[in-house]
Structure 1
Amino acid sequence: MPHADTLTVVHHDDTRTSYTDVRYQLHRDGIRIWSDEGEHALTDILMTHAYRQREARAS
């Protein structure tokens, strides 16, 4: 499962939601995000921007 230091989700109405230090999974119905705040499932996404600035830690 990919990890992102910064993940920005652009919604169909052009609003943006940003997350930091998350794991995520893209699927055909949207995106599922796991963060310190819990699990998020979004279906109204237009695109995502994921950035990785450091080496991955062993899980």
Structure 2
Amino acid sequence: MPHADTLTVVHHDDTRSRYKDVRYELHRDGIRIWSDRGELLALTDILMTHAYRQREAVAKAG
């Protein structure tokens, strides 16, 4: 699941929602966004997204 330091969601009415330090999944019916605390937000009225990653990803041993 991709991680974004900053995620901007542009809605169909041209409003924008911004999220910081989240993981997300794009789906045919919208986007699902998880905060670092595990909270889930599902949006269906999206036009496009912009995700920015400013730091290097750290691989987790597992």
TM-score, normalised to structure 1, is 0.93
Which of the pair is proportionally richer in strand? 1
What are structure 1's unaligned runs of at least 5 residues? none
The count of residues paired between Structure 1 and Structure 2 equals 59
- Structure 1 ranges of 4+ moved more than 3 A: none
Q: Which amino acid aligns with 2:41?
A: H
RMSD: 1.1
Question: 1 CA distance for matches of 2:6 and 2:32?
Answer: 15
User: What per-residue deviation string (whole Å, max 9, x for no partner) do you get for residues 6-54 of structure 1?
Assistant: 0000000111000000000001000000013611000000000000100
2:5 paired residue number = 5
TM-score, normalised to structure 2, is 0.88
Question: 2 CA distance for matches of 1:36 and 1:55?
Answer: 17
For residue 33 of structure 2, give the secondary structure of its aligned residue in structure 1.
strand
Question: 1 CA distance for matches of 2:56 and 2:42?
Answer: 26
2:59 paired residue number = 58
Question: 2 CA distance for matches of 1:23 and 1:44?
Answer: 18
What are structure 2's unaligned runs of at least 5 residues? none
Question: 2 CA distance for matches of 1:36 and 1:52?
Answer: 15
